[in-house]
Amino acid sequence: MNTYSVMIVGVGGQGTLLASRLLGNAVISAGYDVKVSEVHGMSQRGGSVITYVRYGEEVHSPIIEKGEADLIIAFELLEAARYLPFLKKGGKIVVNTQQIDPMSVVTGAAEYPAGVLEELKAKADVTALDALSLAVEAGSSKAVNVVLMGVVAKHMEFTKEAWEKVVEETVPPRFRELNLKAFDLGYNV
Amino acid sequence: MAKKLLLGNEAVARGLFEAGCNVVSSYPGTPSTEITEYAATYDEMYSEWAPNEKVACEVALGAAIAGARSFCGMKHVGLNVAADPLFTASYTGVNGGFVIGVADDPGMHSSQNEQDSRHYAEASKVMMLEPADSKECLEYTKKAFEFSEKFDTPVILRLTTRVAHSRSLTELSERADVPVKEYVKNPQKYVMMPANAIPKHVVVEDRIAKQIELFETDDINTVEYYDKKIGVITAGNCYNYAKEVLGKNASYLKLGCVYPLPEKKILDFANECETIYVIEELDPYIENHCKKLGIKVHGKDVFTLQGEYSQALVAKAILGETKEFDGVSFDIPRRPPVLCAGCPHRGLFYALKQEKVTVSGDIGCYTLGALQPLDSIDTVICMGASISALHGRNKVDPENAKKSVAVIGDSTFIHSGVTSLIDIAYNNSASTVIVLDNSITGMTGHQQNPTTGKTIKGDPATQVDIVALAHAIGIKRVKVVDPYNLKETRDTIHEELAVDEPSLIISRRPCALLKTVKHNPPLKVNKDKCKSCKMCMKIGCPAISMKDGKAEIDFTQCVGCNVCTQMCKFDAIEA
């Protein structure tokens, strides 16, 4: 197969790194070559964060450029808009409709744009959901990442059982049950 | 053994383990930090956080001279700090293998400059290897120890952000059994005074000549011939970008060793191919070497000197190809990093803003105090410079001392702020210095340091008492404040600015992200009491926003620090 490119975007602190680890582990268990690229350090502090996951027979570059992503998983609405140019023509977006104001919006220097979701839908194949509410339902607002991976799982080739095994193996044992519930809620959206 | 998906830094740590390395000493710095964090998970190696990179480098060199395989890791600017031992370690050579890991940050994801460490290898005449993915991170780490012992030299392992922070499949092996070598006293080799160093310089030059000879044939520099119309000379992650874009439509010379560079191998490759492109991030380092050999190459005439490269950048420069993409029709507000909700630095910076002082800043999370709305930092240069630069400023303009401060984190203070504070005490500068003590090295992701009372493994350790240290070096006025208490913090700063002698304020409150910190329940805004005055917005807390004309607190972020409660004149923020 050709290299499949997934971008996971969000706001630092939302748990995008765990999502990329789940996806990475899922594709290895299916026998693919894979590269995952993350950003650590300063930009984790409430800034815009991106993780790239690429898999296929042989993956060279670990990053994704404009017009190359098959799938964008956005943890926040504005971040989906920010990285729309990275989506390939005909690519998919899974977006959490949660809105987190950037500091320029908090201070009043800028406004959070209106009609973001409508415009995304006009330009791409979009699945939108309120992942925060589902995460809270599962037991923790921090489980947004696993809810979203549940949604994504539905769009990918691996079985639900394979995904659940990856969730069990990737998260700490004491959060296993909560995360499996979060995954299930996402999967059944 | 099985293949695992390892982070580049994790693969270097695994390489250290497999190579039989005994001692690891480092100072954290993005993007190098995880090498040492992962190394510390292996009980077979002694690992530590050192106060700074110079100390770490000397610890590792000492261990190597004693006969053990040893390692120190740092970010690119850390190598500036460790440059002093590096240049002389090149002369002394080693006994057990000695490897220095350095991670450059093209694109400056988390750095204050974009320097290219390859120049250090050439300047110090120390061999430098550069892996392109996690698999090579592991292999090259092991090779580095072999080369170090074969040529009696330190070896630098250079990573870049994308290699250090990308995961790829890596094959693991067992740990090699490498006994610690015997140390034999040898002043001609290890005592670097002129009489011994003069003959050692001859040895160094001879060593480089022998290394060049080896690298003409060693398989660390690989040649792949496909279509010969385009020949690519490259190293590190740029090889992956070239391979993705050009595949078998080009031939490749991938340099696994970037210093010293082979000559014949490069000339032979250039003679085989029609048009040569050198693809390398940052400076034209390989390009200049090719030009010196008389080879006509394309390099920085088509590629940029700035930032990270990508497959798109390579495709555009060589093939003139670009991909189609779509964007949104509206402007998207930028989202730079911010001080976290509950960050103890917030209260301190707000107090500094109220006092309208000039702030000499430093390197850490608190550099974010420079951003709106706190906007409370005037300068940031390098680790420790806050204190010394303030002292310099105050000597030029003594009146400035009454309206300026330095701010520096606990880890940065220990790294290189202590000597600057001694300068202030010794040369009687009426400067006010504030140590932001959040009980951890924050920005690099929570590493222990000499002020936290714990080792890298979390075991109890001797804890530097900053108050006693300040007294011992001659600072008489030392105050400790809680930055969650806005009035106390501001009053103390006001008081210390007024005095005509050196003073130190310790703004002490643990990082809100520490797992050991107990949070209060999230606060709520009483919408009936909220007068929409936006005073609570002045502290730049990411958990507070205006919704439908009233303040609102995001329950997923708020940790109940109560700094905003002190801002509200109408008691609208409630527990």
Instruction: Give the CATH superfamily of B3-215.
Output: Thiamin diphosphate (ThDP)-binding fold, Pyr/PP domains (3.40.50.970)
Query: How big is the A-B interface in CB pairs under 8 Å?
Result: 196
Q: Residue B560 — φ and ψ, nearest 5°?
A: 70, 40
Model confidence pLDDT, tens digit, residues B127-140 = 999 999 999 999 99
Q: What is the number of other CB atoms lying within 10 angstroms of the CB of residue B255?
A: 25
pLDDT at position A44 is 63
Residue B220: which of B232, B212, B208 has the closest Cα? Answer: B212
Q: Output the pTM of the full model.
A: 0.96
The shortest CB-CB distance from A41 to any of B168, B244, B443 is to B443
Percent of chain A at pLDDT > 70 equals 97
The reply to whether A174 touches chain B by the CB within 8 Å rule is no
pLDDT at position A43 is 56
Are the Cβ atoms of A59 and B168 closer than 8 angstroms? yes
Does residue B333 have a cis bond before it (omega within 30 degrees)?
Answer: no
User: Cα separation of B299 and B301, whole Å?
Assistant: 5
Question: What is the distance of C-alpha B202 from the center of its chain?
Answer: 34
Model confidence pLDDT, tens digit, residues B367-386 = 999 999 999 999 999 999 99
Model confidence pLDDT, tens digit, residues B449-466 = 999 999 999 999 999 999
Model confidence pLDDT, tens digit, residues B482-535 = 999 999 999 999 999 999 999 999 999 999 999 999 999 999 999 999 999 999
Domain with CATH 3.30.70.20 in chain B: 524-574
Domain count, chain A: 1
C-alpha dist (Å) from residue B304 to B286, B301, B315, B560:
14, 8, 13, 47
User: Cα separation of B284 and B300, whole Å?
Assistant: 7
For domain B221-319, give the CATH number.
3.40.50.920
Query: What average pLDDT score do residues A45-50 get?
Result: 87
Instruction: Provide the pLDDT confidence category of residue B360 given band limits of 50, 70 and 90.
Output: very high
Q: Residue A82 — φ and ψ, nearest 5°?
A: -60, -40
Are the Cβ atoms of B327 and A105 closer than 8 angstroms? no
Q: What is the number of other CB atoms lying within 10 angstroms of the CB of residue B296?
A: 9
The reply to whether B498 touches chain A by the CB within 8 Å rule is no
Residues 6+ apart with CB under 8 A from B256: B129, B130, B131, B136, B140, B220, B221, B222, B235
A residues 26-85 lying closer than 8 A (beta carbon) to B:
28, 33-48, 59-63, 65-68, 78-79, 81-82, 84-85
The shortest CB-CB distance from B368 to any of A39, A45, A141 is to A45
The reply to whether B544 touches chain A by the CB within 8 Å rule is yes
The shortest CB-CB distance from B333 to any of A25, A87, A104 is to A104
Q: Give the gap in angstroms from C-alpha B538 to the nearest C-alpha of chain A.
A: 7
What is the span of the domain harbouring residue A32? 4-102+114-187
pLDDT at position A107 is 81
Cβ burial of B194 (10 Å; 0-12, 13-18, 19+) is: exposed
pLDDT at position A41 is 62
Residues 6+ apart with CB under 8 A from B547: none
Q: Do B333 and A102 meet the contact criterion of CB atoms below 8 Å apart? A: yes
The shortest CB-CB distance from B537 to any of A35, A87, A107 is to A107
Q: Do A62 and B168 meet the contact criterion of CB atoms below 8 Å apart? A: yes
Domain with CATH 3.40.50.970 in chain B: 3-215, 345-508
A residues 84-113 lying closer than 8 A (beta carbon) to B:
84-89, 100-113
Are the Cβ atoms of A119 and B337 closer than 8 angstroms? no
pLDDT at position B237 is 97
Per CB-CB distance under 8 Å, the chain A contacts of B373 are 103, 107
Residue B7: which of B212, B167, B183, B240 has the closest Cα? Answer: B167
Q: Among all residues of chain A, which has the CA nearest to that of B341?
A: A46
Token duo for residue B166? 């990308």
Q: Give the gap in angstroms from C-alpha A130 to the nearest C-alpha of chain B.
A: 14
Instruction: Provide the pLDDT confidence category of residue B556 given band limits of 50, 70 and 90.
Output: confident
Residue A76: give its domain's CATH number: 3.40.920.10
Asked if the model's pLDDT at residue A40 lies above 90, the reply is no
Query: What average pLDDT score do residues B160-185 get?
Result: 97
Q: C-alpha angle with apex A44: A41 to A46, nearest 5 degrees? A: 145
CA dihedral B469, B471, B476, B479 (to 10 degrees): 50
C-alpha dist (Å) from residue B223 to A94, B9, B107, B140, B409:
42, 26, 29, 17, 48
The shortest CB-CB distance from A39 to any of B3, B109, B332 is to B109
The reply to whether B168 touches chain A by the CB within 8 Å rule is yes
Q: Residue B260 — φ and ψ, nearest 5°?
A: -80, 155
The reply to whether B170 touches chain A by the CB within 8 Å rule is no
Q: Among all residues of chain A, which has the CA nearest to that of B34?
A: A40
ipTM above 0.90, yes or no: yes
Alpha helices in B405-549 (DSSP H): 410-412, 418-426, 466-473, 486-498
Q: Among all residues of chain B, which has the CA nearest to that of A39?
A: B165
Could you tell me if residue A108 is inside a domain?
Answer: no
Asked if the model's pLDDT at residue B333 lies above 70, the reply is yes
Domain B524-574 fold is Alpha-Beta Plaits (3.30.70)
Place of tokens 């350790």: B461
User: Cα separation of A112 and B333, whole Å?
Assistant: 7
The shortest CB-CB distance from A67 to any of B323, B334, B541 is to B323
Domain B345-508 fold is Rossmann fold (3.40.50)
C-alpha dist (Å) from residue B307 to B104, B111, B391:
11, 12, 34
User: Cα separation of B377 and B371, whole Å?
Assistant: 8
Place of tokens 């189609």: B324
Asked if the model's pLDDT at residue A42 lies above 70, the reply is no
User: Cα separation of B442 and B516, whole Å?
Assistant: 14
Helix, strand, or coil here: B400? Answer: helix
- Higher per-residue confidence, B3 vs B333: B333
